[in-house]
A and B are shown apart, each in its own frame.
Chain A
């Protein structure tokens, strides 16, 4: 019995060697990732591949100077995260998101979009 426990713990540590983290991936966004929109959007919507935990998922939208231009706390329902935006003058904006999926895995990422003609 003791030997079996020893063998299984050895195997267990072997298998444990491969452990990755990452889960709710960004499926799509509006404005779209890397897109140019003519008119300033009033809100940002992010669709994820998994349902999110509202308490631990955040998003920040920054202008090129690094100032925050979102309205603060996002609204999260199932796999969609939305946040209101302040009136955006033409320019490039950076979206930084941080998501916790309901199966307790965190992911984060960022992308940019552009407002106004290029």
Chain B
């Protein structure tokens, strides 16, 4: 697919990088070297400066042209107008004045004018009239590159994190631009030294390589830190790095950067020292120029990848397609039968790594340490598979349904229709068809359910499990499959909830989510109310008296819409709420009347009560004690969105 916007982006990134690179290179790398190497005017230096000025003008014109194309194409996309209409009919003006991108472009247009002035001030005969003018030129062209951060993914997030992200991104752009853009002037100096073929220019080449490499070390450090910040914000996790288009492009980019750094290291550590030897200088200079061009090619490819990344949805917002058939798992540490083995392997790997590390650092005992470290790793290698479990392309899919009562209720209906004949109506694996099946259907309330990711369950429901279970991908739509997973989790939680609550254990049972309408006109969902202990009351015809005694902070689920709503409570009559909570009460919707639940401050379902049970929650003193107990013993916290169901067992 030909994508004009991506092309305009890439060309603009490259031109802006070259522009900032050439001013940076002239001021901080070339001029100091020339000042030391030559007393008085040097013809070849004047010639190089003239080439640099020409290069800067070309890149400025190219940036303006590509920036203009970017703006017009974008305006035409956003307004739905043709390119001409967007220019004439105000679409471009609207984008310029009313969007962050447009405001950024206006600022950068001013920068273009100032940069033009500062290029004009660069004289081929003696450089900038003063050092300060050079510094200003570098700052202006650096700002021109850095300000691209406001035209990309950076800073699209809200709040302080967004500010941090955009600043890191701006720094990343400015640094990368100066480095990649400095490569062409670097190659030009090498070419010039090669033509001169004299001692003085050999030294210039050596000094330029050393200075450029010294900056390179700083550049790599800054790129690493700011790149990590960008990766954290836009990718967020290892599966996303490995399993999304965005993440894979980023890995490609990182690999290209590492190659570039390796070439730069060869220049500095291997080639530069050899320039001292006049006899071999020509060959070394040819290789330096050659390497400079290789780096430029790598830099251009990196810029193309950057241009593509900017038009690809960040990994943090797309589903992960896991590319491997296994994934890492810490399950072997939990399982008593494999725990000793897992710990021994872990110790072997840590010790092996430490030995290899020490062997590299310390000259004495180097080979014994490297050998024993390697041997430990080799010994551990055949057993490492206990740290992995089988994985599927969907293993890291995130559920889009939330753990809502609607989803659970729909999942229950689908379960009874499609699954209960084998897995049983309660999911214990004891359906009417189960006795003829080999292997027997899984007990979906057993502990193993918590060891599988939502994405694993999604894969099995979609594609089946060999001969043991049929595939439902064709008969149940994706949302329905996620609904089933929500029901399976709720059902497994419900099977544990009563006994855990009776034992006073503080296990974490994510509360099914539903919306309530409050007296102040707001309509929060239960998940929004984290931070306080919630009292849920399921009220039918028998609960009218109870409603009058409730604290105003209680949340009432009306089982019968005709129950009075005059109370000060937040309430709902969502029938799905009753269906979902009936699971946890181990009763039917009809028997739910009068049942009460307490949800702790981290959103975990903790305790339940129904009329007739002692102690009696209708006694305000007893109930206050229940709430107090729960408040003092917080449950294991878990991530707020996208329930992951990792339980402490």
Docked-complex contact A103 and B308, CB < 8 angstroms: no
Indicate whether A25 sits within 8 Å of B312 (C-beta atoms), given known contacts A50-B157, A51-B162. no
Which residue in B99, B296, B573 is a CB contact (below 8 Å) of A4? B296
Q: Decide: A18 and B78 in contact? CB cutoff 8 A.
A: no
Q: Does B197 contact A (CB under 8 A)?
A: no
B94 / chain A contacts, CB cutoff of 8 Å: 55
- Which residues of A from 1 to 48 have beta carbons under 8 Å from B? 1, 4, 7-8, 11-12, 15-25, 30-32, 34-39, 41-42
Given contacts A16-B7, A51-B157, A102-B101, are A35 and B406 in contact (CB under 8 A)? Answer: yes
| Residues of A close to B296: CB separation below 8 A | 4
Question: Known: A4-B296, A41-B523. Is A15-B572 also a contact (CB below 8 A)?
Answer: no
Q: When A4-B297, A11-B301, A55-B94 are in contact, do A19 and B6 touch as well, CB less than 8 Å?
A: yes
Among B129-137, B148-156, B532-540, B603-611, the one that faces the other chain is B148-156
Q: Which residues of B contact A (CB under 8 A)?
A: 1-3, 6-7, 10, 74, 77-78, 94, 98-101, 151-159, 162, 245, 249, 293-294, 296-297, 300-301, 304-305, 307-308, 310-313, 317, 404, 406, 515, 517, 521, 523, 525, 561, 572-575
Closest to A53 in B: B99
Do B572 and A38 touch across chains, with their CB atoms under 8 A apart?
A: yes
Q: Taking the complex as formed, is A104 at the interface, i.e. its CB lies under 8 A from any CB of chain B? A: yes
Contact A104 B99 (CB under 8 A): yes
Q: When the two chains form their complex, are residues B313 and A102 in contact, meaning their CB atoms are under 8 A apart?
A: no
Q: A37-B515, A39-B517 are in contact. Are A15 and B308 (CB under 8 A)?
A: yes
The answer to the question of A96 belonging to the interface, with a C-beta cut-off of 8 Å to chain B, is no
Q: What residues on B are CB-neighbors of A12 within 8 Å?
A: 10, 300-301, 304
User: A103 near B156 (CB under 8 angstroms)?
Assistant: yes
Measured in the bound complex, the distance between the Cα atoms of B319 and A20 in whole Å is 14
Residues of A within 8 A of B310 (CB): 103
Known contacts: A4-B296, A55-B98. The answer to whether A20 contacts B312 by CB under 8 A is: yes
Please state if A8 and B297 are interface contacts (CB–CB under 8 Å). Answer: yes
B77 / chain A contacts, CB cutoff of 8 Å: 106
A83 to chain B, nearest CB (A): 16
Q: Which residue of B lies closest to A21 (CB)?
A: B311
A64 at the interface (CB under 8 A from B): no
B245/A18 in contact, CB under 8 A: yes
* 30 CB < 8 A contacts A-B: A4-B293, A4-B294, A8-B297, A8-B301, A12-B10, A15-B305, A16-B6, A18-B245, A19-B6, A20-B245, A20-B311, A25-B317, A30-B515, A32-B525, A34-B406, A38-B561, A39-B517, A50-B157, A53-B100, A53-B101, A54-B98, A55-B94, A102-B99, A102-B156, A103-B154, A103-B156, A104-B101, A105-B313, A106-B78, A117-B573
A112 interface residue (CB < 8 Å to B): no
> Which residue on B lies nearest to A30, using beta carbons?
B523
Residue of A23, A35, A49, A103 most packed against chain B (CB within 10 A):
A103
| Closest chain A CB from B410 CB (angstroms) | 10
Chief secondary structure at chain A's binding surface: loop
Whether A19 touches B311, Cβ cut-off 8 Å, given contacts A4-B293, A37-B517, A103-B156, is yes
Answer whether residue A92 sits at the interface, using C-beta atoms and an 8 A cutoff. Answer: no
Q: Which of B294, B307, B308 has the most CB of A within 10 A?
A: B308
CB-CB under 8 A for A31 and B523, given A8-B300, A104-B101, A106-B77: yes
Nearest A residue (CB) for B79:
A56
B95 to chain A, nearest CB (A): 8
- Chain B residues, CB < 8 A from A39: 517
- B-facing residues in A77-118 (Cβ within 8 Å): 78-79, 100-106, 117-118
Contact B99 A56 (CB under 8 A): yes
Nearest 10 A-B pairs (CB), nearest first?
A55-B98, A12-B304, A8-B300, A50-B156, A19-B3, A4-B297, A102-B100, A103-B156, A53-B99, A78-B158
Asked if A1 contacts B293 (CB within 8 A), the reply is yes
Residues of B within 8 A of A38 (CB): 517, 561, 572-573
Give the Cβ gap from B99 to chain A, nearest Cβ, in Å.
5
Q: Name the residue on B nearest A23 (C-beta).
A: B313
Q: Which residues of A have CB within 8 Å of B521?
A: 42
Enumerate chain A residues within 8 angstroms of B523, measured Cβ to Cβ: 30-31, 37, 41
Partner of B308 from A1, A18, A24, A34 at Cβ < 8 Å: A18
* B96 vs chain A, min Cβ distance (A): 11
Rounded to whole angstroms, the CA-CA distance of A19 and B599 in the bound complex is 45
Contact present for B151 and A15 (CB under 8 Å): no
Of listed A19, A20, A37, A54, residue having the most chain B CB within 10 A: A19
Question: Known contacts A50-B157, A102-B99; is A20 also within 8 Å of B300 by CB?
Answer: no
Q: How far is the CB of A3 from chain B (nearest CB, A)?
A: 9
**B74 proximity list for chain A (CB < 8 A):** 104
Interface residue from B2, B159, B317, B575 paired with A118 (Cβ < 8 Å): B575
Of A50, A55, A104, the most chain B CB neighbours within 10 A belong to A104
Docked Cα-Cα span, A25 to B308, in Å, equals 20
Q: Which residues of A contact B313 (CB under 8 A)?
A: 20-23, 105
The contact of A103 among B152, B304, B515, by CB within 8 Å, is: B152
**B304 touching A18 by the CB < 8 A rule?**
no
Given A38-B517, A79-B158; 20 other pairs, CB 8 A cutoff: A1-B293, A4-B294, A11-B304, A16-B1, A16-B307, A16-B308, A20-B311, A31-B515, A32-B404, A34-B406, A38-B572, A39-B517, A50-B157, A51-B157, A53-B98, A102-B155, A102-B156, A103-B153, A103-B154, A104-B74
Q: Please give, as numbers and ranges, the residues of chain B lying within 8 Å of A104 by CB-CB distance.
A: 74, 78, 99, 101, 151
Which residue of chain B has the shortest Cβ distance to A117 in the bound complex?
Answer: B561
Give Cα A104–Cα B156 distance, bound, in whole angstroms.
Answer: 10
Contact B1 A17 (CB under 8 A): yes
Asked if residues B78 and A100 are in contact (CB atoms below 8 Å), the reply is yes
A57 → B minimal CB distance (Å): 10
In the complex, which residues of chain A have a beta carbon less than 8 angstroms from the beta carbon of B406? 34-35
How far is it, in angstroms, between the C-alpha of A36 and the C-alpha of B406 when the chains are bound?
10
On whether A15 and B317 interact (CB within 8 A), knowing A20-B245, A31-B523, the answer reads no
A23 proximity list for chain B (CB < 8 A):
156, 313, 317
Chain A residues within an 8 Å CB radius of B3: 16, 19
Would you give the 0/1 interface string for A66-83, flagging 1 where the beta carbon is closer than 8 Å to chain B?
000000000000110000
**Which residues from chain A contact B249 at a C-beta distance below 8 Å?**
15, 18
Report Cα–Cα, A39/B519, bound state, in Å: 11
B151 x A103 contact (CB < 8 A) = yes
In the assembled complex, the Cα of A23 lies from the Cα of B99 at a distance in Å of 16
Across-interface contacts of B317 in A (CB, < 8 A): 23, 25, 49
For residue B7, which residue of chain A has the nearest CB? A16
- Whether the pair A15, B525 counts as a contact (CB closer than 8 A) is no
Q: Which B residues are CB-close (under 8 A) to A20? A: 245, 311-313
A residues near B312, Cβ cutoff 8 Å: 18-20
